[in-house]
Structure 1
Amino acid sequence: MNTGAAPLVISADGPRPHPVHDGDRIWPETNCYIDLWVELLHALGRDPVPAFACALSADHDGGQWTFLKVTQEDLRRLYGLEVTEENVWMPLVDTVESGPARQLLHTVEVDSWWLPDTAGTDYHHNHVKTTIVPVRFDREQRQLTYIHNSGTHSLAGDDFAGIFGLGDSPRSGLLPYVEQIRWFPDRQEPDVLLPIVREHLSRRAPGNPIDRLAGDVRSAVGWLPDAGMETFHLWAFATLRQCGATAELAADLSSHLGADLAPGAAEAAPCFLDVARGAKAVQFKMARAARGRTVEVDDLLTAMGRAWTRGVDIVAESVAV
């Protein structure tokens, strides 16, 4: 079937993980969706850093930091990639198998229980929702190569059956959320990164998101000791990890802009890295608080707030907002 889309080809072996996932990063992983797109764009031979413009419109809403996602509009304008929801009317295994003939890739919401790359955390231990992109599919051999988190991985056998709910493998009656990805090269817009950066800056919430995060953290000092460490990890992921990872991505974007498009933007990178380091330091302190220890986080949070404001102001000035 000719839809006008160009083929999307990814090597089954996959490239080395993108530098965003280097072990010496402050936050080597961000969230499952951003990590997925970093490695997918990298595997497709595209630079994922321009997609980090979404970091500039992140916020804290009083309960959590923005779960960062690259917008569908940004993907189309930057890379010519169209992302839409798949109407899953066939069995999931048939839907994924149909992708190559339809010249598309899928993102698929799955259970981490069946993903070997999560060994040591969720693999055969916890039922946790996450998203993968199947790259190579062998139904007969029950083998799947997929992109997830920081790279390209493989699974087989019972894990294949589990992902797709085959045989006696338990599966919820709810259909997973699935997206289709198609490539239309002519829809990629030239010289579009600066306008996208300006648009994200224009969508910032009033005030400073770090100040709102700080209020959440100070409140948590009081209730975390009674909540248990499992709740601490869930809370920290939704707040401090997302803040820190967002800031580190904003530093990458700032360096990218400053290298060519917006002289001066690179000066924002150290500010955002200070936020990323500060978030990790506060997270360590809050782990102590969750165990009933007395901690002081005000100075760190104040410094993070100032660094975020300075970083965003530098980027805004460099792109003439």
Structure 2
Amino acid sequence: MTVQSVLPLDPSAYTPHALHAAERMWPETNCYVDLWIEVLSALGIAPEAMLGFTLTQDFEGDQFTFFKVPLEDLEALYGIKVTELAIFDSVEAHIREQIARGRLCLVEMDSFYMPDTRGVGYRQEHGKTTVGINSLDLENRRMDYFHNGGFFSLDGADFDGLFQHNAPDGWPPFLPYTEFAKFPAERVEDNHLRGTAERLLRFHFARRPSENPFAGFANVFPQQVEAVAERDFSYFHKYAFNTLRQFGANFELLASHLLWLGGDKRFGDEIAQALRLSELAKTVQFQLARAVTRKKFEPLKTAIDPAIDAWDRLMAGLSSKIE
């Protein structure tokens, strides 16, 4: 049986997009945004255009917003229509049908069985993550897929684990949340991307948090750190991912969006403030690890204060240029 693919890609020859370059402060952000960066790159269109939504990130009390590109933005910018796929047969049957139609399925799966997470989650810890399945070979139990900052393949026992082929009798059916993406017949033009991105930047700026999110975070950060220190050290990684890494990666992507849209000449000060936020997240993450290990929290009491200033300066600067 011929194995079909959505896009003609070879995992062994794949080069990730520059937004995932190793020299960036946050080479990976979160699974959903990272996936779309690579899918758009593989389609030959600029993923930087979609990143205006990063302006809306807020502090949610126990975490920063897990930032995801709105599906409406994908359609407005690129003509890509994404919707939920109903699962009423085997997951593999649905995916194979959509691949045959040239559609990419985005499926929530268990990173425990994904070799690309080796050293982090692979065969160590179960975790939910989203992958984009480009090809599926049922006979040889092989899958090529987008995940995080790259394009990979897996097979054999990992394939069986992902699709729960060895689940015991009576085990609940495998019904992962699944979306599928319909790509347009023709690639959009650059002038359309830039015009739409300008409009969406203004739209998302109007949706920014009404209060400085870092002021709220600073108020609870010392207490949260002390609580983290009472847990197993593995919890530190979960806390840091959902707070410091989320806002650090978010604002580095915002800087990349502003650089793509207007460059240093137009947005130089705002790019600098966004990168200041991103760098601060990296610095505080190291400080947090030391504090949790040593049980010394005093240095962290004012650690978030510079972020309050940076966010205010960033928003004030954008207000003067895009409203």
Normalised to the residue count of structure 1, the TM-score between the two structures is: 0.91
Kindly indicate whether the alpha-carbon contact (under 8 Å) linking 1:55 and 1:249 is maintained by their aligned counterparts in 2: yes
Contact 2:145 2:151 in 1 (8 A): yes
| Cα deviation digits, residues 103-161 of structure 1 (max 9, x gap) | 31100110001100011111111111101011122111111111101101110111111
Instruction: Describe the superposition over 1:264-310 as per-residue Cα deviations: whole angstroms up to 9, x where unpaired.
Output: 22331111111111111111111122221234134441111111221
| Counterpart code for 2:268 | A
Greater CA deviation, 60-69 or 265-274?
265-274
- Aligned partner of 2:280 in structure 1 is 278
Structure 2 residue aligned with 1:173 = 173
Q: Residue type matched to 1:30 in 2?
A: T
- For 1:174 and 1:16, the matched residues in 2 are separated by 32
Residues 54 and 200 in structure 1, CA contact (< 8 A), matched pair in contact too: yes
Query: Structure 2: how far apart are the matches of 1:137 and 1:247?
Result: 35
2:312 to 299, 302, 309: 309
Identity of aligned residues (%): 35
Give unpaired runs (5+ residues) of structure 1: 1-6
SS in 1 for 2:260: helix
Within 5 Å, give how 1:226-265 maps onto structure 2: 226-259=230-263, 264-265=266-267
Equivalent residues of 1:257, 1:266 under 8 A apart: no
Q: Alpha carbons of 1:221 and 1:116: their partners in 2 closer, same or farther (altered >3 Å)?
A: closer
Contact kept? 2:87, 2:94, Cα under 8 Å: yes
Q: Tell me, what secondary structure is at the counterpart of 1:250?
A: helix
**Match in the other structure for 2:23:** 24
Aligned length: 312
CA distance in structure 2 between the partners assigned to 1:131 and 1:272 by the alignment = 27
Structure 2 residue aligned with 1:50:
49
Q: Report the 3-state secondary structure (helix = DSSP H, G, I; strand = E; otherwise coil) of the residue aligned with 2:227.
A: helix
8 A contact 2:226–2:292 mirrored in 1: no
1:3 is aligned to: none
1:115-264 matches, cutoff 5 A: 115-168=114-167, 173-184=173-184, 190=192, 191-259=195-263, 264=266
One-letter code aligned to 1:317: S
Asked whether the equivalents of residues 6 and 134 of structure 2 are also in contact (C-alpha less than 8 Å), the reply is no
Q: Distance in 2 between matches of 1:32 and 1:38?
A: 10
What code does the residue aligned with 1:200 have?
Answer: H
* 1:4 match: none
Q: CA 1:254–1:266 in structure 2 vs 1: closer, same or farther (change >3 Å)?
A: farther
* CA deviation map 1:55-93 (0-9, x unaligned): 111110212101000000000001000010000111011
Q: Does 1:84 align with 2:88?
A: no
TM-score w.r.t. length of structure 2: 0.90
Deviates more, 1:279-288 or 1:187-196: 187-196
2:181 counterpart SS class: strand
Could you tell me which residue of structure 1 aligns to residue 9 of structure 2?
A: 11
**Deviations along 1:157-193, whole A, 9 cap, x unmatched?**
1111111122458975351000010023589693211
The answer (yes or no) to whether the contact 1:12–1:136 under 8 Å persists in 2 is no
Give the distance between the partners of 2:91 and 2:149, measured in 1 at CA: 24
Asked if structure 1 preserves the Cα contact closer than 8 Å seen for 2:6 and 2:135, the reply is no
Q: Which amino acid aligns with 2:179?
A: E
CA apart distance, 1:247: 1.0
Matched to 2:180, the amino acid is Q
In 2, Cα distance between equivalents of 1:60 and 1:106:
30
